[in-house]
Structure 1
């Protein structure tokens, strides 16, 4: 089963390619330029072309282009073209989404059948994309996840490490939880779903996956700082982390129940903490290499 990965050239694409390569799975990767289209579209003959040997499409742009790269309507139109192309070619599609489609006001963990109540532009856009895919492709998987982190690009950990280097004090939210998910862990889940689809599994629909162990922003930063302190020289003035309660933090993501994924595909949740040490180590080693390379 050859996989077509549609993703930006950083953390999700890198993790998926590495995972599929490890599994001996063939793949092809395309980026934003592949889905861009200008001018009128013939809906009976979509301008996108998928090679005959592609057996499934993984669309990460649905998650990656929410804040930049594509305007909202351009993203919707691009997804519509992709969905039409996949449906006409009888190729299933796995699309990434996240828990921002929920409002999280009732607490607890949201299940896949819970009512979607987005309270942000991002959540509303994700909801529109999910509905578009459901109405366009019979054979689809929508995989909602949590905030993704890795050693690549701008994400939770890379942003924190940058702040550690340029701050003496950080105020961090400690009253709302989230379930950060490493890109490598997300790739593991996607690969496992693809493996079972290739064996004839027809369990299409919406699923949830995030790492186990909910954590607030302050606790996550404490963990990252403790790891980073093992690899970097202590500054003259130690960094101070301050726990605050604030409604302005963008850390909060509604928590999700992931039992449906476990019961259907047998995929277990892994703790995000298991990925922090290698991720921080990789980032700091790269920073050290870059710094030494800049020295005369």
Structure 2
């Protein structure tokens, strides 16, 4: 790759998946891991000055945004201060900035999948921050890519997928939200998308803008859980069906600030980049293989 790519957040699971796929294609990315004291605003200036990148890929707050879904003021303020400083620095140095966002920028009232033409209407603090950072990036930095995802899945115990697995293995009936819709997207698939975009940017393609991606097809969280349960039974990790009790979406405190419809349509990404979506069903076995490896290592 001719571009010098600076990856922020090389230690998290999405960063690790991306680095592994890049290495398999002999592509070198310069990765920076999360500092012990967290991402401080002044670090953005130091990183840009030291690495002199052509492109910055900001995965610094992947875990906070996509796995923990943190809504507390201190965490959001830390992310805002760092990301705004990074946007300003990339704009002043004419560096391309690629940033992640999510379906949280929508209120979820739409009955079909969200497209890039839909106006953001976030209902939670994290969604409002993501929408604000998107606006800042578009306004200040013409050379930018915003990638919005739906449900990103990794095997971290604290993430949505890890919590689902723990619930399926628990002794009590599993209470899951009714009609919570989205695209279950393994981080390996998200990493594939990011790497494909990077390769086209490396060819000097003028493809800046906002794009959606979600593994196909759209499903409910209960439908996804039932499919995962059958896979676990087939692997001998569950002895039988677990009772699932549907509950109102708004009754689940862990879903506060999330849109009930988190489904996104990646048609624009396919038309511009030629990147075809993969089904989450075909990728679930690999995700469960990774989970098993972690359980028994």
TM-score scaled by length of structure 1: 0.86
Q: Structure 2: how far apart are the matches of 1:58 and 1:119?
A: 26
What residue in structure 2 maps to residue 85 of structure 1?
A: 89
What residue in structure 2 maps to residue 11 of structure 1?
A: 13
What residue in structure 2 maps to residue 106 of structure 1?
A: 110
Q: Does 1:225 align with 2:229?
A: yes
- Mean Cα deviation higher: 181-190 or 52-61: 52-61
SS at structure 1 position matched to 2:174 = strand
The answer to whether the 8 A contact 2:5-2:55 is kept is yes
Per-residue CA deviations over 1:133-157 (Å, capped at 9, x if unaligned) read 1122110000000111123453232
- How far off is 1:234 after superposition? 4.6
What residue in structure 1 maps to residue 141 of structure 2?
A: 137
SS at structure 2 position matched to 1:82 = helix
Count how many residue pairs are aligned between Structure 1 and Structure 2: 283
Q: Does 1:146 align with 2:150?
A: yes
Q: Structure 2: how far apart are the matches of 1:31 and 1:253?
A: 33
Per-residue CA deviations over 1:96-124 (Å, capped at 9, x if unaligned) read 00011011213112221221111111111
The 1:135/1:31 distance shift into structure 2, 3 A limit, reads: farther
Q: Structure 2: how far apart are the matches of 1:127 and 1:88?
A: 22
Where in structure 2 are there 5+ consecutive unaligned residues? none
Structure 2 matches for 1:1-296, cutoff 5 A? 1-7=3-9, 9-33=11-35, 35-37=39-41, 46-52=45-51, 54-66=53-65, 67-68=69-70, 71-152=75-156, 154-232=158-236, 234-235=238-239, 239-249=242-252, 250=255, 252-289=260-297
Q: Structure 1: how far apart are the matches of 2:6 and 2:195?
A: 12
The 1:234/1:82 distance shift into structure 2, 3 A limit, reads: closer
**Bigger CA radius of gyration:** 1
Q: Structure 2: how far apart are the matches of 1:166 and 1:61?
A: 32
TM-score scaled by length of structure 2: 0.86
The answer to whether the 8 A contact 1:58-1:93 is kept is yes
Q: Structure 1: how far apart are the matches of 2:45 and 2:206?
A: 26
